[in-house]
Amino acid sequence: MEKLLNEQVTGQIREAFAKLSNPVQILFFGAQENCDYCAETLQLLTEVSELDERINLSKHELTANAALAAKFQVDKAPAIVIAGKDGDETLNLGIQFSGIPAGYEFSTLITDILLASERNSGLSAETREFLKTLKEPLHLQVFVTPT
């Protein structure tokens, strides 16, 4: 299959990934049916993960791997979970994509990988203090489009 990322883009990503501190685990969730962008999303993630050995990619299926999907609260396909990796342990950082991270959202994907590696949200002290006091789960869905 033809590559989705050209050499200029892969060069920029390699440069950004040179600063990675901790390994990152990317979980891809696909589905057999009604998933127009599953193949393309998986190819995109494969090409990204091949750019640095600290980026690990695992492939899963929404129904066949239902327990894992539930653990990461994934309910759509394609879905991407950007997690930390500590030895054999996967650290759920609560970062996920539903749908293909194409166009403008591709840079969001790369930024999320860098964040997951640093394990630092970059949020202010005030925000962090408030988030520590949460008594119920907080789910933020940011609707985006590739253009």
Partner 1 sequence: MIRAEAVEATEFPELANQFRVQGVPQTVINSGKGIAVGAYPEARMLAEIKNALKN
Q: Which residues bind partner 1 (CB under 8 A)?
A: 36-37, 73, 76, 94-102, 105, 108, 123-124, 126-127, 130-131, 134, 136-146
Q: Closer to partner 1 at the Cβ: 53 or 75?
A: 75
Structure tokens at 34: 């009604």
Report the nearest approach of partner 1 to the CB of residue 124 (Å): 6
- Contact between residue 15 and residue 52 where contact means Cβ atoms under 8 Å apart: no
Nearest to 43 by CA among 115, 101, 97: 101
Report the nearest approach of partner 1 to the CB of residue 113 (Å): 13
Q: Closer to partner 1 at the Cβ: 6 or 141?
A: 141
Cα separation, 52 vs 44, whole angstroms: 14
Nearest to 23 by CA among 87, 110, 73: 87
Report the nearest approach of partner 1 to the CB of residue 51 (Å): 21
User: What is the residue type of 47?
Assistant: E
Q: Closer to partner 1 at the Cβ: 51 or 79?
A: 79
